[in-house]
Structure 1
């Protein structure tokens, strides 16, 4: 009996610690800094582009990033280990994204993530590669079907985290 109680208590403590770490990460993001800057790393999104840093002109950004105008901060630097170039971008006024904003497709951070991936493709390939949506016909309007449709709409903005 004591062993079972001890196992349950240990499991509860680990779960509680995990929740506390996740909440702390959202409330107080780590103060890590990108190389060569004095800005907080919070909000920076980075892609590695094949090529030299001199190939990317921050005054003439690819269209997906240029559409953000003055709302955007951009850094270009050599990637570690001569693996290309890091293109980093963040919004100057970083709104706190909510789950509701992400579900409705109105999350500016997700828009930036998508624009950064499209800019990478333009720099490397010269065009944005797109997959035609899978034909699915009419779905029965069930709660699960509506949720699936909602996630399908915002999936291109989500990226890998």
Structure 2
């Protein structure tokens, strides 16, 4: 009986912690959506001033604010972007893949790839030649990385 009570109390504490974390995230997501997302591009700083913004970022139009700066140590250019409005951001939008910040992340990755190599680099498809469990997991991870920018 004592063991059951301890398990219930530990579970309740864990649930309360998760709820508190989700509430704090949703309360601060407005500030997070205004956060600058930055990619360091291995190109001279003045190149973006002359040539304009790379096409993937230009397609986002007036929905994003874009700035460039010299990277620390003179190692290229920092290309930064952030949403002008925080409509549709939050935990649910992020989990369903409809968070507009994911579009900004993807546009930054594509702009970096385009500026450095002249083309948008994509992972090889399919990741394996056989439909194995590992191949399915790799495909899932690759698709998720496309929206979030990390595995």
TM-score, normalization by structure 2: 0.66
> Which 10-residue stretch deviates more, 56-65 or 80-89?
56-65
Which one of the candidate residues 67, 76, 80 is aligned to 2:72?
80
What's 1:44 paired with?
36
User: Any conservation in 2 of the 1:74–1:89 contact (CA below 8 Å)?
Assistant: yes
TM-align CA RMSD:
4.0
Task: Give structure 1 stretches of 5+ with no counterpart.
Answer: 1-8, 32-39, 140-144
TM-score, normalization by structure 1: 0.62
The 3 A distance-change label for structure 1 pair 150 and 132 is closer
Q: CA deviation at 1:114?
A: 0.4
What's 2:28 paired with?
28
Please state if 1:159 is matched with 2:149. Answer: yes
The 3 A distance-change label for structure 1 pair 58 and 156 is farther
User: Any conservation in 2 of the 1:97–1:107 contact (CA below 8 Å)?
Assistant: yes
Please state if 1:128 is matched with 2:128. Answer: no
CA distance in 2, matches of 1:59, 1:93: 26
Q: CA deviation at 1:109?
A: 0.9
CA distance in 1, matches of 2:35, 2:17: 25
SS in 1 for 2:78: strand
- Of Structure 1 and Structure 2, the greater helix share is in 2
SS in 2 for 1:57: helix
Aligned residues: 143
SS in 1 for 2:35: coil
